[in-house]
Amino acid sequence: MTLTVPTRKPPTTAEPVFSVSGLWKVFGPKPERVPADPELSALTPAELRSRTGCTAAVRDVSFDVRKGEVFVVMGLSGSGKSTLVRCLTRLIEPTAGTIAIDGEDVRAMDRARLRELRRHRAAMVFQHFGLLPHRTVLDNVAYGLEIQGVGRSERRERAAEFVAKVGLAGMEKRRPGQLSGGQRQRVGLARALAVDPEVLLFDEPFSALDPLIRRDMQDEVTRLHREEGRTMVFITHDLSEALKLGDRIALMRDGRVVQLGTPEEIVGAPADDYVREFVRDVPREQVLTCRTAMRPASAEDAAHGPALRPEATVAEAIEAVARAGTPARVMDAGRCVGVVDHDRLLGVVAGVTPEAPTTTTTTQPPAPLPDEAPTATSTSGAAAGRDAAAAGATGAVSGGAAVTGTPGAAAGGDPAAAGATAVVEGDAFAPGGERRPASQAPARGTRGAV
């Protein structure tokens, strides 16, 4: 999986555009009883269907969409993400909960006010384009303006502007049947943009496209967002798409949001085993940033080395450190806030939390057998290179025993657990604790004995 994760803008403190609280959508007989009854609302999806005949597509979901951000709702098929986005403008009527746009209660809107919301304030880009086959590209893009009552010459002029913005200049007179899938999706995007909505709602718009065309459309959305700063709610089942586009991601399962956070938070600190499995194959170095990997800087560190932004990815930092051969400084507003070196960067790639200190715990050796010297003391935390056994070396240890370890063993120096052989006064302990004559011990287990 290859990702290109854009630099994330800092969170805004502005009032949310959309504010959702305790939202439920239940399909089935008497759906309102499910969110109102704590016993029913606590049932699993299978139990709820068995007892009531109802399906809870959205279960007690709460979130805010901030002005100017790309908010991604991600989940597998059947997770409730498409139902959720349709509830925002009441294309599907919610069962319970509150939805507000700019502080106005969406569920309390009458038909006229709801029509105004859908025509002017929130525009939907659908998965299957929804183009009118008998109209040209220009007239399809102008259709939303026509519904708004905009005059013919003005709407065609504005439509031509957005046709060019999405890269379809020169194709204004073509009909949808003469376009490729990616071009038809661009027409749908231009039609949504032409009405100048406050929020763009995308319901898996690129899932039917070929991979290369899909990537081009993702780049197009990123470019448009960068140029216009428009608020977007984007629905997808594709994790790489979510990580590429989203400023924040709500990951859904069985109608619930199991984790909500930035791409870095979701990849770097999964909330549970389900999320951990979801992000298992993500290249961490392309998502996590220097802010995650850095350590405190000493006075000497702060004076030398290449400079990186806190938002720079670990992949960028790896390249900078490799080229310079020295740790890189993480600079924020002209001040060194930390340092990234090869150990910290390797820890991030390996999935080892950089902040976790290496601990060493010494255990008591077993009681010596008659007429024998004590066996070697086991030390945990040897993965850092302190324990010669765990590091794959052979060296002198207390009690006259020599230990040889398996390279990279994480067992912490325990000869049995690490696959090592301890030689003690003419006998050997093989992996698993089996005692046998020293003559049968591997040759590598004798060098460096005391």
3-state SS of 12-62 is CCCCCCEEEEEEEEEECCCCCHHHHCHHHHCCCHHHHHHHHCCEEEEEEEE
∠ at Cα 297 (294, 303), nearest 5°? 120
- CATH number, domain of 247, equals 3.40.50.300
Q: What is the pLDDT of residue 445?
A: 42
Q: Which of 232, 12, 279, 278 is nearest to 124 (CA)?
A: 232
The model scores a pTM over 0.85: no
| Residue 158 placed within a domain | yes
81 and 150 housed in the same domain: yes
**3-state secondary structure at position 261:** strand
Q: State the greatest distance between any 2 C-alpha atoms of the chain, in Å, as a whole number.
A: 104
CB atoms within 10 A of CB 316: 17
Q: Which residues contact 448 (CB under 8 A, 6 or more apart)?
A: 394, 395, 396, 402
> Which pLDDT tens digit goes with each residue over 57-113?
999 999 999 999 999 999 998 999 999 999 999 999 999 999 999 999 999 999 999
| Residue 154 placed within a domain | yes
Long-range pairs, 147-152, Cβ under 8 A, ≥24: 147/119, 148/119, 148/120, 148/195
| Residue 244 placed within a domain | yes
Radius of gyration of the chain (CA): 30
165 and 310 housed in the same domain: no
Q: Which residues of the chain have pLDDT under 50?
A: 1-2, 6-8, 10-12, 356-366, 369-370, 372-450
| Residue 310 placed within a domain | yes
Q: Which of 252, 264, 326, 263 is nearest to 293 (CA)?
A: 264
> Among the three residues 350, 367, 398, which one is the final residue of a domain in this structure?
350
C-alpha dist (Å) from residue 211 to 70, 228, 257, 419: 21, 26, 28, 46
> Among the three residues 257, 283, 309, which one is the final residue of a domain in this structure?
283
Q: What is the pLDDT of residue 213?
A: 81
218 and 300 housed in the same domain: no
Indicate the helix (H) or strand (E) that contains 307: strand 307-308
Tokens of 287: 């998502």
Q: What is the pLDDT of residue 53?
A: 95
152 and 289 housed in the same domain: no
Q: What is the pLDDT of residue 155?
A: 92
242 and 157 housed in the same domain: yes
Work out how many domains the chain is built from and give that number.
3
Structural domain harbouring 304? 285-350
Q: Which residues contact 440 (CB under 8 A, 6 or more apart)?
A: 428, 430
Q: Which residues contact 48 (CB under 8 A, 6 or more apart)?
A: 34, 40, 54, 55, 56
Q: What is the pLDDT of residue 108?
A: 96
Indicate the helix (H) or strand (E) that contains 106: none
396 and 279 housed in the same domain: no
255 and 309 housed in the same domain: no
| Residue 344 placed within a domain | yes
| Torsion angles phi and psi, residue 98, rounded to 5 | -125, 145
278 and 344 housed in the same domain: no
Helix, strand and coil content of the chain, in percent to the nearest 5, comes to: 35, 20, 45
- CA dist 413 and 55 (Å) reads 54
428 and 306 housed in the same domain: no
- CATH number, domain of 345, equals 3.10.580.10
| Residue 399 placed within a domain | yes
149 and 116 housed in the same domain: yes
Q: Which residues contact 314 (CB under 8 A, 6 or more apart)?
A: 284, 285, 286, 288, 289, 290, 292, 293, 340, 345, 348, 349
- CA dist 148 and 179 (Å) reads 26
- CB 442 within 8 Å of CB 425: no
272 and 332 housed in the same domain: no
| Residue 94 placed within a domain | no
- CA dist 226 and 104 (Å) reads 27
Q: What is the pLDDT of residue 427?
A: 44
Q: Which residues contact 216 (CB under 8 A, 6 or more apart)?
A: 182
| Residue 367 placed within a domain | no
C-alpha dist (Å) from residue 379 to 109, 347, 392, 410, 413: 67, 21, 14, 11, 5
> Among the three residues 283, 298, 333, which one is the final residue of a domain in this structure?
283
Q: Environment class of residue 201 by beta-carbon count within 10 Å: exposed (0-12), middle (13-18) or buried (19+)?
A: buried
- Which DSSP symbol is given to 298? P
267 and 289 housed in the same domain: no
Q: What is the pLDDT of residue 412?
A: 42
Helix residue ranges per DSSP H, 312-419: 314-324, 342-350
